[in-house]
Chain A
Amino acid sequence: MEKEFVKIISENQGIIHKVCSIYCDSEEDRRDLFQEILAQLWKSYATFRNESKFSTWMYRVAINTAITSFKKIKRQPDQKSLEIESVQIENEEYDPEVEEQILLLHKAIAQLSGIEKSIVLLFLENKDYEEIAEITGITRNYVRVKMNRIKHKLKKQMDIEE
C-alpha cells in the first residue's frame, strides 16, 4: 500500500507544493510542512474511499494540516521576512511584470489569516465556490462572503480590478 501511496502522491505532489508555498515563508518551514502534510496524507490514506476526487481529498488534508501546523505557529512567522528568492520565477520566459505581480501577491497573501489563505489559494487554482466549499468543508455562502473580503483586501494592497 505504501508503494501505491507514494506513486499517487508523486503524481499529485504539485498540490502539496502549492499549499506549502502559500503557507510558508522560508525553505526550512516549507520542508517541515511538506513532511507533515505527507505524513498526514499517509495516515488518512486508508480512510480515503473515493467518495470525492483524490485531488479534493489531498487539498483538504494539506490545507487542514497547514492551518493547524504546530511548528508554523510556534515560530510566529514574521510576515515582513518573506524570502524574496523563494518567489523568483526560474523560467526561460522570464517576465519582470509577472515577477512583480507574484511578489506583490505573496506579500498580500502573507497578511491574510490561515482560512483566507486557503480560500485564495483555491480561487487562484480556478476552483469555483462549490469546490472550495467541498474542500474546506465550509458553506458556499461563507466562501462567497470571505472571498469578497479577500478581494477587497487584495485590491487595497495590489491595486487590482475585478
Chain B
Amino acid sequence: MKLQDLKSAWNQYSSTDASRHQLDESDLQNMLRKRTLGLIERIDRNIRIGFAIFVALSLFFILDDFVISPLLAGGTDIPTWIILINGISVLIIVGSFIYFYIAYSRAKNDYSQSNDLKHVLQSMVHIIHTYRRLFYWALGILLLVNCINFFTGLLTGIEAAASRYHVAIEDLDHRQLLRKTAAGMVILVILIAFLFFFFRWGFRKLYGRYVTQLEETLKELEE
C-alpha cells in the first residue's frame, strides 16, 4: 500500500462519513442551546457554588454571633473574645474569596481554544492548578474555622461549668477536664483528617488523571 492510496481511501471515507453525520442548521442551533458544560464552565460553576457556600457560612457566623448564641446563652453575655474570633473567621472567609476571585480571573483571562495548542494546554494546566490551590486553601480555611470553633466552644463550656458549680476554673476536676478535652481533640483530628482526605481524594479522582494527561501532551509538544 502507498501513502497516496491511504490519502485517497481517507478522502473517500471522510466524505461518506461526513455526509452520514450531516446536520442541518436547526440541528446545529438546537445543539448550541442544549449543550452540556465544558471543563472550564464546570470549574466556573464549582467556583460559584464555593462562593455561595462562603457567603452562607459568613452569614451563619454573623447570625450565630448576634442572634443564635445570645438566645442559647439565655441572656448571658457572650464574651467579647469569642465575638472577636468569630469576626476574624468571617474576615478570613471574605478575604479569601476576594483573593480566589482575583487569582482565578487572572488564570482564566488568557484561555481561548482559538490560541495555538501549546498556549491552550499551558492555560488549561494553569487554570486547573490555580483551581486546585484555591480548593485546598478553601478547605484549609474551613478546617481552621472548625478548629477555632472547637476551641472557643471548649473554653466556653469550661467557663459555663465553673459558673454552674460556682467555682473558679482552677478548682474544676482537672483529670476529668483533661479526659474530655483529649476526647474532643481526638474527634476533631479524626473529623479534620477525614474531611481533608475525602476532599483530596475527590479532587484527584475528578481532575488528577486529566491534568497528568494535559501535562504529558505539553511535554510531548516541548520535546
Question: In the complex, A91→B210 CA distance in Å?
Answer: 38
- Shortest CB-to-CB span from B222 to chain A, Å, is 10
Interface membership of B82, Cβ < 8 A: no
Q: What per-residue 1/0 map shows which CB atoms of B158-170 lie under 8 Å from chain A?
A: 0000000000000
Given A6-B28, A124-B6, A151-B3, A137 and B114 contact (CB-CB distance below 8 Å): no
- Shortest CB-to-CB span from B114 to chain A, Å, is 4
Contact residue range for chain A? 35 or more
Let me know if B16 and A160 touch, CB within 8 A: no
Question: In the complex, A47→B113 CA distance in Å?
Answer: 11
Please name all residues of chain A whose beta carbon is closer than 8 Å to the beta carbon of B28 when the two chains form the complex. Answer: 6, 9-10, 13, 38
Let me know if B18 and A14 touch, CB within 8 A: yes
Let me know if B117 and A17 touch, CB within 8 A: no
Please name all residues of chain B whose beta carbon is closer than 8 Å to the beta carbon of A114 when the two chains form the complex. Answer: 217
Interface membership of B35, Cβ < 8 A: yes
Q: What per-residue 1/0 map shows which CB atoms of B4-39 lie under 8 Å from chain A?
A: 011101111111111011111100110110011011
Let me know if B13 and A137 touch, CB within 8 A: no
- Shortest CB-to-CB span from A98 to chain B, Å, is 5
Smallest Cβ-Cβ distance to B11: which chain A residue = A124
Please name all residues of chain A whose beta carbon is closer than 8 Å to the beta carbon of B62 when the two chains form the complex. Answer: none
Chain A CB count within 10 A is highest, among B7, B114, B121, B221, for B114
Let me know if A90 and B16 touch, CB within 8 A: yes
Interface membership of A101, Cβ < 8 A: yes
Please name all residues of chain A whose beta carbon is closer than 8 Å to the beta carbon of B1 when the two chains form the complex. Answer: 101, 158-161
Contact residue range for chain B? 35 or more
A contact face: mostly helix, strand, loop, or mixed = helix
Question: In the complex, A34→B36 CA distance in Å?
Answer: 11
Contact partner of B217 (CB less than 8 A), chosen from A17, A91, A115, is A115
Let me know if B18 and A36 touch, CB within 8 A: no
Q: What per-residue 1/0 map shows which CB atoms of A74-93 lie under 8 Å from chain B?
A: 10100000000001011100
Let me know if A60 and B31 touch, CB within 8 A: no
- Shortest CB-to-CB span from A53 to chain B, Å, is 13
Please name all residues of chain B whose beta carbon is closer than 8 Å to the beta carbon of A76 when the two chains form the complex. Answer: 209
Let me know if A14 and B20 touch, CB within 8 A: no
Segment 19-66 of B: residues with Cβ below 8 Å from A: 20-25, 28-29, 31-32, 35-36, 38-39, 42
Q: Which 7 pairs of residues, A with B, have the shortest CB-CB distance?
A: A137-B116, A44-B114, A70-B39, A17-B18, A101-B9, A14-B18, A124-B10
| B residues apposed to A, CB below 8 Å | 1-3, 5-7, 9-18, 20-25, 28-29, 31-32, 35-36, 38-39, 42, 112-121, 124, 209-210, 213-214, 217, 220-221
11 contacts between A and B (CB under 8 A): A17-B14, A34-B31, A40-B38, A68-B39, A70-B38, A74-B209, A91-B12, A101-B9, A124-B10, A137-B115, A138-B116
